[in-house]
Chain A
């Protein structure tokens, strides 16, 4: 493999993992826009998506497509339950308290997952086989990579349509901009928040499921992916959808190129370092607007 082929390989790898980060970032963004908090349980959504699909496909022998949607719905339901339960009933609405409440919830989910699925890694079968495909630029991928890209694009398109064209999507955006005004025009803010958690759950599950055949899944798979997804969201501008995609892609490629070209030992340090540099130069992320508040 000559140098340009190597670069092509790094870029494809970076785009693949970047797509995952982008989806996770979008999940973080939706909840941030609706509630202003960081939902650490997002990490668990990713793990659970992969693991529920594993159980359905490998143990129940369900059809793969059906398993995909059932898993997505299940995790969306879990997200909704989290909102309806602990989050809604929390006595304090202070952001830092709610954030750490999600940390606690994350721990409970993780412990429960460890009980249910054990501590071993689980292999999920690829959606359509594992025969390598050689691309024009010399990079080699497997069909799962195509699924990752295809589903990511689909998710982005559908979310875009949802938020721009449907009434519910517009209502959610309205809630994000100004809660009081949204309530005044008759939008049920509580329902919008519930929906945002459900969406976030579904997105996390999708991310977990499409990467599971490549990376295997386990009760703690989601932590690193969640962390980097959050970083991608911040990099692109927290709360901004285009930013999530941009942030995810940039982070993924940075990591991959860093590993390939500079040093595989320091690749995470390099990626985070660049992230910090960007933040110091543009404190609200690449596409973010300032966080304003009343004085």
Chain B
């Protein structure tokens, strides 16, 4: 009996302690410094593994910086911003599964991502049906251009937006530069997958606009290690310039092959090449290669009169501080997607339809990729003016006129 009483005493003491701790914790939680209520959740779906992992992880990092910045300045109307992440594994089926997974948390108000165009196209139909605003940063123009249903050519996506400028505009920028510098006959070398083939279609439309003729077209597989055969054939046509439309290691290999073969015609690459990885894969052979790009890689060279300059410079230093490397051109797309979505949430509150409307009415938004003027007809909002031509030189970039 003595023992039993001791036990009861112990139990009373124990329960008192537990209640005390619970009260303290509850008190602390209840009066946490900055944020009340629940966080606002957005979903970030990127290619974190698989063949597009290096782009996907960079874009995720950019979005994380944007989110950190927002939370450091009071969050979204006093509520913390939280990102629920999904991994498409660079595969369309997995992308749809990741999408459905994040949609299960019914309080996700918007989606950012994905990385690859194929995954974006797979997700698009479900996003439109689900009626949740999605700001994509995949490159393919087809995301906005292809109608949702073949029977109705006017059925364009209402809930899907995209931050990278149109690949067609990037191509136009190159052709325009060429026309101003006396380049008339060109060869087009592209990687044999979606992005490269898209480029092939674009150059057929853009080149004639600026008086440039494509006299040779050659393809290679994305993982090929040597393009001298293709370049030899192009060079044999007597071209004044060569465009190589690819991302990945091929960017560097083509540059090296061009130097190796002693080809004098200037080499242009795509709007994804303005990235530190270009120098890693091209080495010294990258010297002199030109490409269209977002202003993020030449932030310091922008004239002070450029309204984007301050925002870009600030972002670049935040990025360098957190990740200890220079951001590449594609980081800009991820960041802009995040900023515009957050801006819309601030304006419209955590309501999917209202956020969508707010995004669609974003006008004159000073982003990192450019000035966004989104409208119901144009869910991208950028134009050729936002693109600059740069030249790879001495491990860095030079802004071209």
Residues of A bordering B, CB below 8 Å: 1-2, 6, 9-10, 13, 16-17, 114, 118-123, 125, 130, 132, 140-142, 211, 214-216, 218, 220-221, 223-225, 256-257, 259-260, 263-265, 267-268
Expressed in whole angstroms, the minimum distance between the Cβ of B189 and any Cβ of chain A is 9
Q: Which residues of B contact A16 (CB under 8 A)?
A: 226
Task: Give A10 to B232 CA distance when docked, in angstroms.
Answer: 9
Task: Give A1 to B282 CA distance when docked, in angstroms.
Answer: 24
A140 touches B262 (CB 8 A): yes
Task: Give A5 to B213 CA distance when docked, in angstroms.
Answer: 25
Task: Give A261 to B253 CA distance when docked, in angstroms.
Answer: 21
Task: Give A16 to B257 CA distance when docked, in angstroms.
Answer: 14
B281 touches A121 (CB 8 A): yes
Which B residues between 257 and 285 are near A, CB-CB below 8 angstroms?
259-262, 277, 279-285
Expressed in whole angstroms, the minimum distance between the Cβ of A189 and any Cβ of chain B is 37
Task: Give A215 to B282 CA distance when docked, in angstroms.
Answer: 9
B contacts with A: majority SS: helix
Q: Which residues of A contact B236 (CB under 8 A)?
A: 1-2, 6
Q: Mark B201-236, 1 if CB is under 8 A from A, else 0.
A: 000000000000000001111010110111011011
Partner of B253, one of A132, A214, A257: A214
Is residue B156 contacting chain A, with contact meaning CB distance below 8 A?
Answer: no
B51 touches A220 (CB 8 A): yes
Is residue B288 contacting chain A, with contact meaning CB distance below 8 A?
Answer: no
Is residue B349 contacting chain A, with contact meaning CB distance below 8 A?
Answer: no
Beta-carbon nearest neighbor of B57 in chain A: A119
Beta-carbon nearest neighbor of B285 in chain A: A130
Expressed in whole angstroms, the minimum distance between the Cβ of B135 and any Cβ of chain A is 23
B226 touches A13 (CB 8 A): yes
Beta-carbon nearest neighbor of B283 in chain A: A123
| A123, A130, A225 pick with most chain B CB within 10 angstroms | A123
Q: Which residues of A contact B54 (CB under 8 A)?
A: 118-121
Expressed in whole angstroms, the minimum distance between the Cβ of A25 and any Cβ of chain B is 16
Expressed in whole angstroms, the minimum distance between the Cβ of B46 and any Cβ of chain A is 12
Task: Give A216 to B224 CA distance when docked, in angstroms.
Answer: 11
Is residue B49 contacting chain A, with contact meaning CB distance below 8 A?
Answer: yes
Is residue B396 contacting chain A, with contact meaning CB distance below 8 A?
Answer: no
A132 touches B225 (CB 8 A): no
Q: Mark B43-59, 1 if CB is under 8 A from A, else 0.
A: 00000010101100100
Task: Give A284 to B279 CA distance when docked, in angstroms.
Answer: 45
Contact (A121, B277) CB under 8 Å given A130-B284, A264-B220: yes
Is residue B361 contacting chain A, with contact meaning CB distance below 8 A?
Answer: no
B219 touches A265 (CB 8 A): yes
Task: Give A290 to B284 CA distance when docked, in angstroms.
Answer: 50
Contact (A120, B280) CB under 8 Å given A13-B229, A214-B225, A215-B226: yes
Task: Give A292 to B164 CA distance when docked, in angstroms.
Answer: 59
Is residue B92 contacting chain A, with contact meaning CB distance below 8 A?
Answer: no
15 contacts between A and B (CB under 8 A): A17-B226, A121-B249, A121-B252, A125-B283, A130-B259, A130-B283, A140-B260, A215-B225, A216-B249, A218-B249, A221-B249, A225-B225, A259-B218, A260-B232, A263-B219
Task: Give A124 to B261 CA distance when docked, in angstroms.
Answer: 20
Contact (A114, B49) CB under 8 Å given A9-B232, A130-B283, A215-B226: yes
Task: Give A121 to B252 CA distance when docked, in angstroms.
Answer: 10
Residues of B bordering A, CB below 8 Å: 49, 51, 53-54, 57, 192, 218-221, 223, 225-226, 228-230, 232-233, 235-236, 248-249, 252-253, 256, 259-262, 277, 279-285
B253 touches A1 (CB 8 A): no
Task: Give A32 to B253 CA distance when docked, in angstroms.
Answer: 33
B220 touches A122 (CB 8 A): no
Beta-carbon nearest neighbor of A218 in chain B: B249
Task: Give A130 to B256 CA distance when docked, in angstroms.
Answer: 9
A214 touches B220 (CB 8 A): no
Partner of B228, one of A13, A121, A123, A257: A13
A122 touches B280 (CB 8 A): yes
| A13, A221, A224 pick with most chain B CB within 10 angstroms | A13
Q: A13-B228, A140-B261, A214-B225 are in contact. List 4 more A-B contacts (CB 8 A).
A: A1-B232, A132-B259, A221-B223, A221-B249
Q: Which 4 A-B pairs have the closest CB atoms?
A: A215-B225, A119-B54, A119-B53, A260-B229
Expressed in whole angstroms, the minimum distance between the Cβ of A146 and any Cβ of chain B is 13
Q: Which residues of A contact B253 (CB under 8 A)?
A: 214-216
Contact (A6, B232) CB under 8 Å given A119-B53, A215-B225: yes
B233 touches A260 (CB 8 A): yes
B228 touches A216 (CB 8 A): no
Q: Which residues of A contact B259 (CB under 8 A)?
A: 130, 132
Partner of B225, one of A211, A257, A260, A264: A211
Task: Give A218 to B49 CA distance when docked, in angstroms.
Answer: 13
Task: Give A268 to B49 CA distance when docked, in angstroms.
Answer: 25
Partner of A268, one of B53, B218, B221, B284: B221
Q: Which residues of B contact A122 (CB under 8 A)?
A: 280
Q: Which residues of A contact B221 (CB under 8 A)?
A: 224, 267-268
Task: Give A191 to B153 CA distance when docked, in angstroms.
Answer: 67
A216 touches B260 (CB 8 A): no
Q: Which residues of A contact B225 (CB under 8 A)?
A: 17, 211, 214-215, 225
Expressed in whole angstroms, the minimum distance between the Cβ of B215 and any Cβ of chain A is 15
Partner of B233, one of A6, A121, A224: A6
Q: Which residues of A contact B51 (CB under 8 A)?
A: 220
Beta-carbon nearest neighbor of A54 in chain B: B280
Task: Give A101 to B253 CA distance when docked, in angstroms.
Answer: 34
Q: Which residues of A contact B57 (CB under 8 A)?
A: 119
Partner of A10, one of B218, B220, B229, B252: B229
Task: Give A100 to B219 CA distance when docked, in angstroms.
Answer: 34
Task: Give A229 to B58 CA distance when docked, in angstroms.
Answer: 32
Q: Which residues of A contact B256 (CB under 8 A)?
A: 130, 142, 214
